[in-house]
Amino acid sequence: MPFIYLNNAATSWPKPREVIAEVTRCLSQPFAEAGRSAYCSAIDYPSVTRELLSTCFQTEHADHWVFTANATDSLNILIHGFARRESSPFHVITTDLEHNSVLRPLSALEHESCLSLTIVPSGPDGRVDPEDIKNAVRPDTRLVVMTHGSNVLGTVQDIRNVGDYLSANDIFFIVDGSQSAGLVPLDLSKVPMDAFAFTGHKALYGLPGTGGFWIRDPDRIAIIREGGTGTDSKRLLHPTGMPERFEAGTPNYPGIASLYAGLRFIEKVGLDVIALHDRECTNIFTRELACNRNITLYSQDPDLPVVPFNITGIPPDDVGNILANAYGIITRTGLHCAPLIHERIDKGTGCIRISPGYFTTFDECRQAVEAICEVADNADS
């Protein structure tokens, strides 16, 4: 059975041909290990990809881009590294839109009495009012961690407004760009934030197991991993220079090569072209599904290609199985690792999430709409 892939918010598929070709090229030759090898004809993927990230996101120092295993890894390094720098318990603000990659590290540190946590609720439209963040600030507030784009509702948050206030009050600001990187234009030279975490396998078209973060001032984050870097190897303490400060061990060369090719693909196609296609796909779903009386649509006008819904009388996991087995439509069901927002929108039962991508055709969107509505109409019988 041919299938329709609508789970790009989890992992984009298919990958561009350029990505597959670059990974194959990377694996077909010895890795160019900076500081560890005299082989000079291969591509130094970490270096060229850092430069490309710096260009795409408008940052001054390419070596302030750090490669990690994924956004979860990045956020753990940033959150725990920040906490280690603090000498006494402090206050942190986050939101109810966050993924567990933010909520769990913060909750673990709260459990250890390292910090106190305030969770700011989003509004009915799925957006956090920047004034609510500002009003939650206390004298001991040192950190705010906030998603740029919700993986459940597809709403993009006003990080510029929040960042302006936090910067003026010397409060460290970490932005989770897992859903927005590759979909939303972002000039880091103009948006006041201290760190930006991203994953490579979603809208940047890289392989799973890739990601990283950008950091404005590396000294604000303690080193929490030590190991080989290929530099300053006589010293038994980990190097403090960038990017070695946060990178230990052998890099994921094929993964970074995929990220390099994914960034070049976006550059070639154009972020505006990709965004327009995604918007048209999303509109097909929101417009048609909103008309079915048995379908509850939780985000009427998402900024990102993310469409969450439930069908009255049928558990979301059952809907996902029906769509997959009877129609060949791949979606994602459940809590999407963001339990707090589900408590608000569906009382914690979870939902079905549709997420088209650049390679999703309009015809596939219409076929999926017909299938979903057919399942919803049969819910009455």
- Enumerate the domain spans of the chain: 4-13+270-378, 17-268
* CATH T-level assignment (fold) for domain 4-13+270-378: Aspartate Aminotransferase, domain 1 (3.90.1150)
Answer whether 185's CB lies under 8 Å from 271's CB: yes
CA distances, 110 to each of 80, 115, 134, 135, 142 (Å): 11, 5, 21, 21, 14
The tokens of 201 are what? 């396998």
Mean pLDDT per block of 10 residues along the chain (381 residues) reads 93 98 93 60 88 96 97 98 94 98 98 97 97 98 98 98 97 98 96 97 98 97 84 79 90 96 98 97 97 96 97 97 98 98 96 98 98 92 60
- Reduced to 3 states (helix: H, G, I; strand: E, B; else coil), residue 330 is strand
Q: What is the pLDDT of residue 336?
A: 97
Full-model pTM = 0.95
Domain at 17-268, CATH class: alpha beta
Give the position of tokens 């206390």: 138
Q: Would you say 30 and 37 are in contact if contact means Cβ atoms under 8 Å apart? A: yes
For the sheet with 195-199, list strands across it.
65-68, 211-215, 195-199, 172-176, 141-147, 90-95, 115-120
Instruction: Report d(CA 271, CA 72) in Å as an integer.
Output: 25
DSSP 8-state symbol, 173:
E
Task: Give the pLDDT score at 64.
Answer: 98
DSSP state of 62: G
Q: Under DSSP, is residue 270 helix (H, G, I), strand (E, B) or coil? A: coil
- Which residues face 314 on adjacent strands? 311
Report pLDDT for 37. Answer: 58
Q: Tell me if the bond preceding 243 is cis, omega within 30° of 0.
A: yes
User: What six digits make up the tokens of 211?
Assistant: 């990601």
| Cα 43 to chain centroid, rounded | 27
pLDDT of residue 323: 98
Q: Quick count: other Cβ atoms within 10 Å of Cβ 145? A: 26
Question: Residue 2: its pLDDT value, please?
Answer: 84
Show contacts of 193-199: CB within 8 Å, 24+ apart.
193/159, 193/163, 194/220, 195/78, 195/221, 196/57, 197/71, 197/74, 197/75, 197/78, 198/71, 198/74, 199/70, 199/71, 199/74
Asked if the peptide bond before residue 14 counts as cis, ω within 30 degrees of 0, the response is: yes
Say if CB 103 and CB 340 are below 8 A apart. Answer: yes
Same fold, 4-13+270-378 and 17-268: no
